[in-house]
Amino acid sequence: FLPIEMQLTYQVDGEPLEQLPNGYSDHYVPDGFERDREQEFERAENFLHVYSSKESGKGYTVRCSIIQPGQQSSFDNEHTTYENVKVGDADATLGTSVGENGDTVYILSWERGGVSNTIMGNISRDEIVRIAENVF
């Protein structure tokens, strides 16, 4: 895997959440994509949803977890370029890189209400943002 170039360590004001809010999930799936329930997990404090399109061969993941004090996230800034964007009213970071097969891969990360959210995939930037805007 790529070397770790940059790390983010979270701090939490007040008490961290004990679990994700009721119904917290990704509420939009692009046409042609299906959820792969064999590769995913769901717990009270986090989830990973995996989607793929048999037709296009593209895929993406949605990962959400409550933020714990001292939690760390790693970013590769050698092979990925980052820019600041908005997801609704939340500040977000969008990374762009090239996958092994030459596809553009996006990774979008943001925090809202004590929850860390990440979407990663080789689908269009517009679809990544639309999925993100429907995570609540």
Q: Which residue has the higher pLDDT, 10 or 128?
A: 128
Q: 92 - beta bridge partners?
A: 85, 110
Flag whether 1 is in a domain: no
Flag whether 41 is in a domain: yes
pLDDT single digits (tens) 36-73: 999 999 999 999 999 999 999 999 999 999 998 888 88
- Tokens at 34, concatenated: 């299906």
- Tokens at 27, concatenated: 């509420």
**For the domain that residue 41 is a member of, what is the CATH number?**
2.60.120
pLDDT single digits (tens) 93-102: 999 999 888 9
DSSP code, position 26 = B
SS3 132: helix
Flag whether 123 is in a domain: yes
Number of domains in the chain: 1
Residue 4 has pLDDT above 70, yes or no: no
pLDDT score at 3: 57
Flag whether 25 is in a domain: yes
CA of 87: how far to CAs of 63, 92, 108, 109, 122, in Å?
15, 6, 9, 9, 19
pLDDT score at 132: 98
Of residues 24, 27, 28, 52, the one with CA closest to residue 38 = 52
Flag whether 88 is in a domain: yes
Structural domain containing residue 36: 6-133
pTM: 0.92
